[in-house]
Amino acid sequence: MILKLKSVTKDYIWGGTRLRDEYGKKGDSQRLAESWELSCHPDGMSLIDGGEYDGVTLRDFVEKFPEIAGKKCQGEIPVLIKLIDAKDNLSIQVHPDNEYARKYEGDNGKTEMWYIVDCDKDSSIIYGFKENLSKEDFCRAIDENTLLQKVNTVPVKKGDVFLIRAGTLHAIGRGCLIAEIQQCSNVTYRVYDYDRRDNNGNPRELHTEKALDVTDCGKMVLPNGGIQGNTLVECEYFRVYKENISGNGNVHTAEESFAHVLVLEGSGEIISRDETYNLKKGDSFFVTAGTQWHIKGNCSIIYTVV
Ligand code: ZN
């Protein structure tokens, strides 16, 4: 079975208007920072869009029919998939691993991956430190406002992929439009926010102590070698693939896991034995485990399985 999903949008101070203008996303404010494309997290849940289950949360649906998530998932959707439009720099932040998050936050840890859907010519990201630091060095850099000199700033281009493991300090830079696939978690420890103020004129909260607990302070080296074929990332939490389609795309079936399809560009149809949906840029589909599916048209997608 294929379900079309309706996303949940979030307005944060660094967001832009591209998700609304180019990807057809809707929300209460003009600015849309994030669109949660696949989420069963209590902070924002995807809804089924159309058909017999129109308006039902994906979480309720999966609770009712746990087998649709696939054997590997045991009735849970352990990933959260977002589109992120960074008109401005995001805060420098870190996420805890499962052990720490479950102990102190009652949530999962967060390893995430980024696919750079689009970016400005001079866009960059922050990925860990460029030298080995001690916890004391890290703490001092936060206190003395010199963190930006210690971090690894990496220029990016369209199509780049980054796997950001829990414990790696990171930030999305201005001008990046990113597809993010992450563990289902909403725990972020901010350490630097460019001295910005929120809508009420207050600085956003920092979480320096917890960040010091969980951050890997070693020098971070980006794995080189680039992307192998269609595979963007395969890690213990998710596997993410890209497919460029003109005509009939590959036929997929995953018995062990559901699949999530995010359309990055173009238009076409997504087809199973029983259903056909039109698709366009920005659309998201949930394919239940064991369903054979393929896409027809002229488009590029990324799809995620567990
Ligand atoms: Zn993050």
Q: Are residues 72 and 114 in the same domain?
A: yes
Question: In the chain, pLDDT over 70 holds for what percent of residues?
Answer: 99
Closest CA to 84 of 112, 109, 122: 112
Is the pLDDT reported for residue 283 higher than 90? yes
CA distance 43 to 62: 17
Q: Are residues 181 and 36 in the same domain?
A: yes
Closest CA to 80 of 211, 207, 179: 179
Mean pLDDT of the chain: 94
Closest CA to 10 of 111, 80, 112, 114: 80
Number of CB atoms found within 10 A of residue 296's CB: 16
Tell me, yes or no, whether 253 lies in a domain. Answer: yes
In which band, very low, low, confident or very high, does the pLDDT at 225 lie, cut at 50, 70 and 90? Answer: low
Q: Are residues 166 and 57 in the same domain?
A: yes
CA distance 41 to 20: 22
Q: How many domains does the chain contain in total? A: 2
Q: How far is the CA of 32 from the centre of ligand 1 (A)?
A: 17
- For residue 221, give the 3-state DSSP assignment: coil
Q: How far is the CA of 246 from the centre of ligand 1 (A)?
A: 33
Q: How far is the CA of 14 from the centre of ligand 1 (A)?
A: 14
Output the pLDDT for position 10: 95
Q: How far is the CA of 77 from the centre of ligand 1 (A)?
A: 19
Q: How far is the CA of 95 from the centre of ligand 1 (A)?
A: 6
Active-site residues, by number, are 190
Is the pLDDT reported for residue 227 higher than 90? no
Is the pLDDT reported for residue 205 higher than 70? yes
Q: Are residues 106 and 10 in the same domain?
A: yes
Q: What is the pLDDT of residues 238-251, one digit of tens each?
A: 999 999 999 999 99
Q: What is the pLDDT of residues 287-306, one digit of tens each?
A: 999 999 999 999 999 999 99
CA distances from 299 to 131, 262, 288 (A): 41, 11, 22
Q: What is the pLDDT of residues 25-82, one digit of tens each?
A: 999 888 999 999 999 999 999 999 999 999 999 999 999 999 999 999 988 999 999 9
CA distance 13 to 32: 9
Q: How far is the CA of 172 from the centre of ligand 1 (A)?
A: 8
Output the pLDDT for position 229: 81
Q: Residue 293 maps to which CATH number?
A: 2.60.120.10
Q: How far is the CA of 268 from the centre of ligand 1 (A)?
A: 32
Mean pLDDT, residues 173-197: 94
Q: Are residues 161 and 196 in the same domain?
A: yes
Domain range holding 167? Answer: 2-214
Is the pLDDT reported for residue 226 higher than 80? no
Q: Are residues 152 and 301 in the same domain?
A: no
Is the pLDDT reported for residue 234 higher than 80? yes
Tell me, yes or no, whether 20 lies in a domain. Answer: yes
Output the pLDDT for position 133: 95
CA distance 129 to 11: 29
Tell me, yes or no, whether 71 lies in a domain. Answer: yes
- For residue 217, give the 3-state DSSP assignment: coil
Q: What is the pLDDT of residues 163-181, one digit of tens each?
A: 999 999 999 999 999 999 9
Q: How far is the CA of 141 from the centre of ligand 1 (A)?
A: 20
Give Cβ neighbours of residue 27 (< 8 Å, ≥ 6 apart): 9, 10, 11, 20
